Structures are given as C-alpha cells and as structure tokens.
Amino acid sequence: MGLLSNPLVILGYHGIVDDHRDALDDFCFVDVNKLRADLKSVSELGWQLKGLREGMSELAEGKLSKPTVAITFDDGFSSVLNRGKLVLEEFGVKATIFLPTRFVTNGRTLWFTDVISALKRTKLKEFVFLGRAFRIESYVERVQVNRKIQNFLRCLHPIAIDEMISELHSSLHLNVTDVKSEFAIMNLLDCERAMSSGVFDFGAHSASHAIHSQMDHAELSREIDESLNMISSLSLNCPLLYAYPNGRRQDFSTRCEEILARNNVACALTTIPGWNFELRKRFQLKRFCIGRNTNISDVLSSWRWRFLGRLV
Ligand SMILES: [Zn+2]
C-alpha cells in the first residue's frame, strides 16, 4: 500500500478572529484572511481540498487521486460559524468541527479563553497571582503574561484549573457574571444549523476538554462516553470521529484507544504533525495545528514530512 498512495494532510484550526490582537496573539486564533490565504495556497501547491470523512475513506481504499488536505476546527468556537463558514463556502470545502460537548449545553467558555478575556478586560496595570507580580500595562506585556499563565495552568487537573481561573478573576478585580464572551462555544442550535448548512460536520473532542492522560480510568471512560453520546445524537448515522484534547503523544494513551474501539469510533486525530499515508493506526492520525505564523507551504511542500510519513 504506502508507496503508491497519495497523502492526506489534516489541518487543525481553532477559533477565527478579525484581528489576531483580539486574542492577544494566542496560537489558537487565526484571522480570517489567514484562513483564506491558507486554502488558496493548498490549490496553488497542487493539492486538493476534501472533507475529512471523504478524504479518509478514499485514503483507506487507496483511491486518493491527488495529495489531499482536510480542514478541521477544534473546540467549537462560534467564530468558526460566524467568520469561517463564508471562507469554506468560497472554496467549496466541508470542515469537521471537534466539540468539547459539555460546553455546548452549559454555555461556559474554555479556560484558556477565560485567561485571554480576563487580561483584556481588566483595568489593572499590574497584579499579583499565585504570589507573583505581573505587569500588564502594554499589549506586549499582556501577550507574554497570557502565555505564562496558560503554560502554568495547562498541566493541572481540570478541577484545579477552574479554581485558578476564579483566583485569576479576583486578582484582576473582575466580576465574571453576565459577560458575553467573544470566545463563546456554539450551542446546540448553532450545531444543528451548522450541520444543515452542509458546510460542517462534527466529531467528539471529550466532554470537559480535560487532558486524557491526567484522568483515572473511570473519569476517562465517562468523559469519552458522554462526548460520543452527544455527537452520535447530533450526527446520526455518521461514523464517529474523535480528537484528543491537546493531542500530543503524552496527552493520550492506549487506554483511550481501548475506550474508543469499544464505542465503535472510526478514527481519532492527534496533534502530532505529519502526513497520513494510510489508516492503519486509525486512533493516532497525524494533524498539523495551524497558528497565525504557520506557513502552509512548509507543511505541504517539505520533503521531510513525506519522508517521515513513509517510515511509520
Ligand atoms: Zn481542543
């Protein structure tokens, strides 16, 4: 198989903003012009765009007629519908959205966007958090503090992260009630509209977005089951797809693969960069996370990726 097949490259976006400064230059938010430029580059570089499901089934059957790119969005940001949908329609391509399903019903936002929002909204020029003083007078200082706090919180258990976010809000003198977030997650009605538009379909991305390697077996089973239940009721009759939160090699394990297999999940996506030449490791598909500085021509034209993809 491998030697004759064309590759499937999966690109992983998150939220879409009008201007990257709106998200303090956070890696997870690209502006709408970057998305458009990326999709344009795909065809200029001689690749074709296909929906993820179609791309995967053609790859499995060895029928990909050209090197192929599929587009995904993690975390279900409403901005993907508001800003991304038009761009996808321009290029006539379908994208798969991976939802952290509990956020669809509870109206809450993801912790890392709470950090960005809090740093943008506060009137303070400096503050103390966890015994450390931070200066946030200039834009550059806010960008740096956002990165530092996210890096620290990312390795904690989800319950501890929630407590830290409350602590951060009080350190920044912010009242969080009744704030409509620009980083909102789509609700159930949004999801149904997105499905019926024909531009999007859905996969599961856990329930609470907790990193799987930090959970015990019972917690992990509940997370994955809850997420898959919601996605199967949303996308009836479609094979189930999954994307691991964070998705690096250390963020999931074979325990996850066993639970996914038991639930008849077809494939799972990582954020391990690389080209896919086959679906043999169907619970470890490779994917490039795209940030505002990611150069698509590096992702699609580098012989390094072609070579590495052949080795597995
Ligand atoms: Zn995510």
pLDDT at 2 over 50: no
pLDDT at 1 over 70: no
Stated pTM of the model? 0.93
From the CA of 125, how far away is ligand 1's center (Å)? 30
From the CA of 64, how far away is ligand 1's center (Å)? 28
From the CA of 297, how far away is ligand 1's center (Å)? 24
Nearest Cα residue to 228 out of 57, 220, 123: 220
From the CA of 211, how far away is ligand 1's center (Å)? 9
pLDDT of res. 50: 97
Q: What is the mean pLDDT of residues 4-9?
A: 86
pLDDT at 9 over 70: yes
Q: What is the mean pLDDT of residues 292-310?
A: 82
Q: What is the mean pLDDT of residues 274-284?
A: 92
From the CA of 128, how far away is ligand 1's center (Å)? 28
pLDDT digits (tens, 9 = 90+) for 218-251: 999 999 999 999 999 998 778 999 999 999 999 9
Average pLDDT of the chain to the nearest whole number = 92
pLDDT digits (tens, 9 = 90+) for 134-174: 999 999 999 999 999 999 998 888 889 999 999 999 999 99
From the CA of 74, how far away is ligand 1's center (Å)? 5
pLDDT digits (tens, 9 = 90+) for 47-87: 999 999 999 999 999 999 999 999 999 999 999 999 999 99
pLDDT of res. 5: 83
Q: Which residue has the tokens 């938010």?
A: 29
pLDDT of res. 163: 94
> pLDDT category, 311, cuts 50, 70, 90?
low
From the CA of 109, how far away is ligand 1's center (Å)? 12
From the CA of 4, how far away is ligand 1's center (Å)? 33
From the CA of 292, how far away is ligand 1's center (Å)? 16
For the chain, the domains span: 8-106+184-311, 111-171
* CB distance 312 to 281 below 8 Å: yes
From the CA of 98, how far away is ligand 1's center (Å)? 8
pLDDT digits (tens, 9 = 90+) for 174-203: 987 656 688 999 999 999 999 999 999 999
Q: What is the mean pLDDT of residues 2-25?
A: 88
From the CA of 246, how far away is ligand 1's center (Å)? 6
pLDDT at 277 over 50: yes
From the CA of 75, how far away is ligand 1's center (Å)? 5
From the CA of 248, how far away is ligand 1's center (Å)? 11
- Quick one: angle between helices 254-262 and 217-234, nearest 10? 40
From the CA of 118, how far away is ligand 1's center (Å)? 20
From the CA of 1, how far away is ligand 1's center (Å)? 32
Of the given ranges (77-81, 207-211, 300-304), which has the lowest mean pLDDT?
300-304
**Protein residues near ligand 1, an ion, with CB under 5 A:** 74-75, 245
- Please provide the CATH number assigned to the domain covering 8-106+184-311: 3.20.20.370
Residue 69 makes CB contacts below 8 A (sequence gap 6+) with: 8, 9, 10, 11, 42, 47, 48, 49, 50, 300
The CA angle 58-59-65, to the nearest 5 degrees, is: 65
From the CA of 65, how far away is ligand 1's center (Å)? 31
Q: Which residue has the tokens 């950090």?
A: 115
From the CA of 180, how far away is ligand 1's center (Å)? 21
